[in-house]
Amino acid sequence: MYLWLKLLHVFFIIAWFAGLFYLPRIYVNMAMVSPGSVEYQRLLLMAEKLFKFMTPLGLLALLFGFVIPFITQWWGMGWVHTKVTLGVILLGYHGFCWKLLQDFQDNRNRYSHRWYRFFNEVPVVIMALALYLVIFKPF
C-alpha cells in the first residue's frame, strides 16, 4: 500500500510543480506587455487554464503527502512535520498565485517582471528542502 501511495504522491508532486514552475513564468511575460494587447490576453488565458489544471493536482499531491506518514508510522518524526509545513507553505504559494492571477484579470498587477522572476524561484527552494528532508531524514 505504501508504494502505491508514494507513487501517487510523487506523480502528483511532479505534475503540480510543473504548474508551479510555469505559471509565474507566464506572469513574467504578462508583466512585460500591455494589458490591452492580444499577447496579454493570450497569456492570461494560458494562465487561467494552467491554474485550473494544476489546482487538483496540488490537492491530490497534498492529500497523499498527508496520508503517507500515518500509514508508515512516521508522523512522530520531526522531518515529516517540517515537510508537511513545506507543503502548507506551497499551498499558500499556490493561493498567492491565484490572487496574482485575479490581479492580472482585473488589470491590477503591481509587480515588475523582475519581481516575478524572483517569485518563480520560491518553489525551487521549497522542493530542494523537501527532497533533502525525504532523502536524509535529518531529525
Please report, in range form, the residues annotated as the binding site for heme: 9, 83
| Cell of residue 96, nine digits | 498567492
Q: How far apart are CA 42 and CA 51, in angstroms?
A: 14
**DSSP 8-state symbol, 102:** H
Query: What residues contact residue 64 under an 8 Å CB cut-off, 6+ apart?
Result: 5, 8, 9, 12
Closest CA to 47 of 122, 100, 89: 100
Binding-site sequence positions: 9, 83
Query: What residues contact residue 84 under an 8 Å CB cut-off, 6+ apart?
Result: 65, 66, 69
